[in-house]
C-alpha cells in the first residue's frame, strides 16, 4: 500500500502521456517478477522489499478504471466499472483459496511433493554435497535454493500473470492523440471510443484547462470514494475480530472457518450483484440516489449487528451472512458510483492521472483504517458495562458516524456532480 501510494499519481500521468497499454504491461510484468521473488524470500526484509516494489510498480489500478470507461459507450459505463469491482470480488474468492491450498505443499500433498523437493523445508543435502565437490565456490549461491514452503502459490500466480502478459498483445490502446473519424469505421472499437469521448468532452470542456486538484467535481467524488474505502476497511477489520470474540464480550464466538465461510458467501454475492443487479439499479435510480440508498441501508444494518450476538445457531449464521452480503453490496454500489463520477469529471487526457490521485488518497485512508478500528475495538472490549453504548455497541456506533458523514457528502455543496452524471 505504501509503494502504491507513492507512485499511483506518477503512473497515472505516464498513462495519460504514453498510453494505457504500456502501463498495464509494466504492472503485469512487475507482478510476474516480484511475486516470484516474494515466494523465494529468505529473510523478512526481502519479503517486505519485494512487496514494496510490487506496489511501487503497480500502475494499473487507476489506469484500468480509465480504460474501462474508454472501451464502453457512455450508457455502458456502469457495467464496465462494475466489472472492475467484480474482478476484485473474484480475487477475494480465488486468491485466499490458492494461498490456502497450495502453501506448504509437502505437508498437504506428500505424494506429489516429497520432502526433498524445491518446496520442502531443507536443502537436498546429498545433491548439494555432490555439487559442492565440483563447484565448491558456488555452494553459497546454491544455498539460496533452499526449500520454500510458500513458493508454490506465488509461482502459480506468476504463471497466470505470464499468460495475461501474453494476452496483452491483443489489448487495444484507447489513448488516441489524433482526431478520430467515426464515419470511416462506424462499427469499430475506435468509433465507440470516439463516441464516448465526444460525450464526455461535451460536458467537461470547462474542466479541461483546470488543474486536477482544483477540479471540485473530481476531488469531491474522490473524497466520497476515500470515505467509503475507510469505512469498508475499518468494517473488515472489526468484523473478523467481533465475529471471533467470545459472546461474553459481545461477539459471536465464531471459529475461523465460520468467518471464512461468511467471507466466501459475501465474495460470491458481490460477484453476482455487480454483474447482474447493479447496472439496472443505477439505470433506474441514477448514480446519486443509488449511492444514498446504499449508504442508508448500510447505516441501518450496522445498528442490527450488536443484537445478533443474542441469536442461537443456525439463525445467527444465516442472519450474519445476509447482513454481511447486504453491507458489502452497499459499499460496492457507492464505490462503483464514485468511479463513474470521477471518470466523468475529466477529459480523456487527464483520466488516468485522476484515477492515480484517487488510488493514492484511497491507499492512505486504507492504511489508517485498520489501526484506528483496532484501537476502538480494543477499547470497547474493556468497557463492556459502560452506561452509553457499552462494548461493541460503541464500535458500530462510531462506524455509523463515519457512514453518516459519507451520506452528508453526497449532497451539495460537498459533492459536485458532473452534468452528464446528473442527467444520466
Better-scored residue on pLDDT, 384 or 21: 21
Question: Among residues 223, 201, 332, 198, which one has the least CA distance to residue 270?
Answer: 332
pLDDT in tens, 375-389: 999 888 888 777 777
Say if CB 351 and CB 66 are below 8 A apart.
yes
- State phi, psi for 259 to the nearest 5 degrees: -65, -40
Which whole number is the average pLDDT over 331-338? 93
pLDDT of residue 406: 96
Taking every pair of Cα atoms in the chain, the longest distance, rounded to a whole number of angstroms, is 77
Q: Which residue has the higher pLDDT, 423 or 406?
A: 406
Give dist(CA 68, CA 78) in Å, integer.
10
State the pLDDT at residue 226.
95
Predicted pLDDT at 96: 72
Return the pLDDT at 421.
59
Band (pLDDT 50/70/90 cuts) for residue 194 is very low
Provide the residue count of the chain. Answer: 424
Check whether 182 has a pLDDT greater than 60: no
pLDDT at 133: 46
Cβ atoms within 10 Å of 382's Cβ, excluding its own: 9
C-alpha angle 259-248-324 in degrees, rounded to nearest 5 = 30
The mean pLDDT value of the chain amounts to: 81
Predicted pLDDT of residue 198:
52
Residue range 336-371, pLDDT digits in tens? 999 999 988 998 889 999 999 998 999 889 888 888
**Phi/psi at 253 (5° precision):** 60, 35
- Is the model's pLDDT at 137 over the cut of 60? no
Give CA–CA dist 171/193, Å, rounded.
Answer: 14
Predicted confidence (pLDDT) at residue 279 exceeds the cutoff of 60: yes
Q: Is the link from the previous residue into 413 a cis peptide, with omega within 30 of 0?
A: yes
For residue 417, what is its C-alpha cell?
A: 456532480
What is the Cα–Cα distance from 214 to 388, expressed in whole angstroms? 42
Helix (H) or strand (E) holding 45: helix 44-56
How far apart (Å, rounded) are the C-alpha atoms in residues 286 and 274?
15
Higher-pLDDT residue of 249 and 121 is 249
Mean pLDDT value of segment 317-338 = 94
**Contact status, residue 338 vs residue 222, Cβ threshold 8 Å:** yes
In terms of average pLDDT, the best of 87-91, 237-241, 339-343, 401-405 is 401-405
d(CA 73, CA 103): 43
What is the per-residue burial (b if ≥16 Cβ within 10 Å, else e) of 182-193?
Answer: eeeeeeeebbbb
Confidence (pLDDT) at 390: 80
The rounded distance, in Å, linking the Cα atoms of 227 and 237 is: 15
Instruction: State the DSSP H helix or E strand holding residue 62, giving kind and residue range, or none if neither.
Output: helix 60-70
pLDDT mean over 74-88 = 82
Least confident of 18-22, 96-100, 187-191: 187-191
Question: Where do the domains of the chain lie, and which CATH numbers do they carry?
Answer: 2-103+182-422 (1.20.1250.20)
Is 90 exceeded by the pLDDT of residue 5?
no
Residue 154 burial (CB < 10 Å; 0-12/13-18/19+)? buried
Cα dist from 353 to 73, 143, 303, 359, 363, whole Å = 21, 44, 38, 10, 15
Q: C-alpha dihedral over 90, 366, 305, 314, to 10 degrees?
A: 30
Look at residue 387 in the predicted model and tell me its pLDDT: 75
Through-space distance between the first and last CA atoms of the chain, rounded to whole angstroms: 34
**pLDDT (tens digit, 9 = 90+) per residue, 220-258?**
999 999 999 999 989 988 998 899 898 888 889 988 778
Under a CB-based contact definition with an 8 Å cutoff, are residues 378 and 245 in contact?
no
Joined grid coordinates for residue 194:
470516439
| Residue that the C-alpha cell 455487480 belongs to | 274
Average pLDDT estimate for 134-150 = 48
Q: What is the pLDDT of residue 140?
A: 39
Amino acid at each position: 500500500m505504501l509503494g502504491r501510494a507513492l507512485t499511483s499519481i506518477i503512473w497515472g500521468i505516464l498513462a495519460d502521456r504514453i498510453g494505457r497499454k504500456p502501463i498495464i504491461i509494466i504492472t503485469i510484468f512487475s507482478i510476474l517478477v516480484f511475486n516470484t521473488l516474494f515466494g523465494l524470500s529468505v529473510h523478512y526484509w526481502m519479503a517486505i522489499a519485494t512487496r514494496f516494489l510490487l506496489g511501487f510498480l503497480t500502475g494499473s489500478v487507476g489506469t484500468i478504471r480509465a480504460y474501462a470507461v474508454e472501451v464502453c459507450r457512455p450508457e455502458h459505463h456502469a457495467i464496465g466499472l462494475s466489472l472492475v469491482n467484480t474482478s476484485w470480488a473474484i480475487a477475494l474468492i480465488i486468491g485466499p483459496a490458492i494461498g490456502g491450498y497450495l502453501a506448504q505443499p509437502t505437508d498437504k500433498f506428500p505424494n506429489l511433493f516429497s520432502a526433498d523437493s524445491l518446496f520442502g523445508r531443507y536443502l537436498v543435502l546429498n545433491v548439494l554435497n555432490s555439487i559442492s565437490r565440483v563447484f565448491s565456490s558456488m555452494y553459497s549461491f546454491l544455498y539460496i535454493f533452499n526449500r520454500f514452503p510458500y513458493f508454490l502459490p506465488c509461482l502459480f500466480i506468476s504463471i497466470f500473470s505470464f499468460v495475461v502478459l501474453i494476452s496483452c498483445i491483443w489489448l487495444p490502446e484507447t489513448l488516441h492523440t489524433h482526431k478520430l473519424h467515426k464515419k470511416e469505421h462506424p462499427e469499430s472499437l475506435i468509433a465507440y471510443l470516439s463516441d464516448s469521448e465526444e460525450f464526455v468532452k461535451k460536458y467537461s470542456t470547462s474542466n479541461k484547462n483546470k488543474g486536477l486538484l482544483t477540479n471540485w467535481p473530481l476531488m469531491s467524488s474522490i473524497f466520497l470514494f476515500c470515505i467509503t474505502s475507510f469505512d469498508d476497511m475499518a468494517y473488515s477489520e472489526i468484523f473478523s475480530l467481533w465475529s471471533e470474540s467470545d459472546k461474553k464480550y459481545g461477539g459471536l464466538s465464531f471459529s475461523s472457518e465460520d468467518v471464512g465461510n461468511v467471507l466466501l458467501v459475501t465474495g460470491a454475492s458481490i460477484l453476482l450483484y455487480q454483474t447482474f443487479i447493479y447496472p439496472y439499479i443505477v439505470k433506474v435510480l441514477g448514480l446519486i440516489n443509488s449511492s444514498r440508498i446504499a449508504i442508508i441501508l448500510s447505516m441501518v444494518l450496522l445498528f442490527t449487528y450488536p443484537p445478533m450476538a443474542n441469536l442461537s445457531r443456525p439463525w445467527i449464521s444465516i442472519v450474519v451472512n445476509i447482513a454481511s452480503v447486504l453491507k458489502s453490496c452497499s459499499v460496492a454500489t457507492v464505490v462503483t458510483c464514485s468511479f463513474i463520477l470521477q471518470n466523468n469529471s475529466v477529459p480523456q487526457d487527464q483520466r488516468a492521472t485522476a484515477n492515480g490521485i484517487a488510488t493514492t488518497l484511497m491507499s492512505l485512508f486504507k492504511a489508517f483504517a485498520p489501526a484506528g478500528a483496532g484501537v476502538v475495538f480494543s477499547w470497547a472490549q474493556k468497557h463492556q458495562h459502560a452506561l452509553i453504548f457499552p462494548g461493541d455497541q460503541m464500535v458500530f456506533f462510531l462506524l455509523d458516524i463515519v457512514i453518516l458523514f459519507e451520506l452528508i457528502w453526497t449532497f451539495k455543496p460537498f459533492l459536485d456532480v458532473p452534468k452528464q452524471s446528473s442527467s444520466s
